Amino acid sequence: MHTKPSPDLAGTPIGREAQALLKSCVHCGFCLPACPTYRVLGNELDSPRGRIYLIKQMVEGAPVTEATREHLDRCLTCRSCESACPSGVQYGRIIDLGRELIETRAPRPTLERAWRSALATVLSQRAVITPLLRVAQGVRGVLPPALRSKVPPRVKVGAKPTAQRTRRVVLLEGCVQPGLAPQINAAAARVLDRVGIATITANGESCCGALGHHLGFTERARAQVRANADVCTRLLDEGAEAIVSTASGCGVFVKDYGHFLRDDPAYAVKAARVSAEARDLCEVLSVEDLRKAGLVGSAKRGNVAWQAPCTLQHGQRSATAGKVEALLAAAGYELTPVASSHLCCGSAGTYSILQAGLSQELRTRKLETLLGGKPESIATANIGCLEHLRAASPVPVKHWVELVDEAMGG
Ligand code: SF4
Ligand code: SF4
């Protein structure tokens, strides 16, 4: 698709990037059936091809309206379209670029911007969100049902390993996960310990930046990425093997740090190094043979439906494909069939708050397919998906490493 940037963008980094990205789209439409919002709304402008066209028009200087912004806002950034596209279109980068442009071409009303800023601020600060959640958990029983469903009950975290190991990795904590589900990283630390790897936390770790970036606060996100690049680089220098995340939504963004800060002379190299050493937990564990190492037995442990988060199956697909499934099977779990497993559950960060209707419709559809094989539980790999599904699921929803940890004795 040929694009002629408007005079204010021609020759700029953003204009050049837009031209390079947009030219690979050949309008074939193969991506349309893979798009959750197109399947629900049936409007070409809520499809990948339609959104790409809207962004091309915006780059070329066509008038941008509130409607354009709404079509872009409805995109989940699930990148299912990228997996379906035969031409290798990097849709994730195109929508990022479109989102950056739309904030100046069609500015949001003050109240809406303030609400989005508040979300980006509160949800990205562990020191704020964790105490708030503890208070909500304390009064959970008297909360109205709609609010109660968003507050998970507190669960036991279990012991953290204390053995000294020569190998160690940085285990990122994230922002909302320590408050909502601290048991996930505790389980990850125990499982890693059993394969001889200690975990360290990144003192001074900031939000990964994905939240602010996707809400249009790019500069704020850059500051967070720089802070994390500093902390992680120091820990890599001190001998950490990798930067590991148990939340695929954060992990996919950390893997993109190098691209995100590519034009920052002070941070481009540092950020690229952090990205190169970033791993999802399943990548680290998949090279360990849990059965051969005697870490799990042959006991059957029940039926599980695997819900691969979009940030894992589309965002990190070449690195992670099939790995969680293999780990769960090795731990004795039988995976139930899940139809249309490429489709998003509707969580998508703050999407479940900002596009609540669409998000709930997608969750209903996703739960129907996940429950189709009559699983005893649902496993996933991202805190956002986990909480979104848990709030409406009749069966327990857990992070897959919790199940592996249980198989190893907890
Ligand atoms: S994004 Fe890919 S699949 Fe979709 S219309 Fe463009 S080339 Fe075709
Ligand atoms: S990222 Fe997901 S919601 Fe957005 S256009 Fe692609 S498939 Fe559709």
Q: For 74-83, 149-158, 192-201, 364-373, which range has the lowest pLDDT when averaged over its residues?
A: 149-158
Instruction: Give the per-residue pLDDT at 141.
Output: 87
CB-based pocket (< 6 A), ligand 2: 34-37, 48, 51, 75-81, 91
Which of 358, 361, 340 is CA-nearest to residue 350?
358
In which band, very low, low, confident or very high, does the pLDDT at 409 lie, cut at 50, 70 and 90?
A: confident
Answer whether residue 214 shows pLDDT above 70. yes
Instruction: Give the per-residue pLDDT at 311.
Output: 97
Phi, psi angles (nearest 5°) of residue 262? -65, -25
In which band, very low, low, confident or very high, does the pLDDT at 390 lie, cut at 50, 70 and 90?
A: very high
In which band, very low, low, confident or very high, does the pLDDT at 150 lie, cut at 50, 70 and 90?
A: confident
Instruction: Give the per-residue pLDDT at 180.
Output: 94
Helix (H, G, I), strand (E, B) or coil at 163: coil
Which of 133, 129, 132 is CA-nearest to residue 154?
133
Q: For 10-14, 111-115, 365-369, which range has the lowest pLDDT when averaged over its residues?
A: 10-14
Closest residue (by CA) to atom 4 of ligand 2?
75
Closest residue (by CA) to atom 8 of ligand 1?
28
Instruction: Give the per-residue pLDDT at 292.
Output: 67
Residues whose CB falls within 8 Å of the CB of residue 359, separated by 6 or more in sequence, listed in order: 346, 347, 348, 351, 352, 388
Over the stretch 224-241, which tens digit does the pLDDT of each residue have? 999 999 999 999 999 999
Instruction: Give the per-residue pLDDT at 264.
Output: 96
Q: Please tell me the distance between residue 50's alpha carbon and the centre of ligand 2 in angstroms.
A: 10
Give the residue ranges of DSSP H helices in 149-217. Answer: 177-180, 182-194, 210-214
Q: Please tell me the distance between residue 24's alpha carbon and the centre of ligand 1 in angstroms.
A: 8
Average pLDDT, stretch 73-93? 97
- pTM, full prediction: 0.94
The answer to whether 244 and 250 are in contact (CB under 8 A) is no
Residue identified by tokens 């304390």 is: 138
Average pLDDT, stretch 158-177? 92
Closest residue (by CA) to atom 7 of ligand 2?
35
The answer to whether 100 and 15 are in contact (CB under 8 A) is no
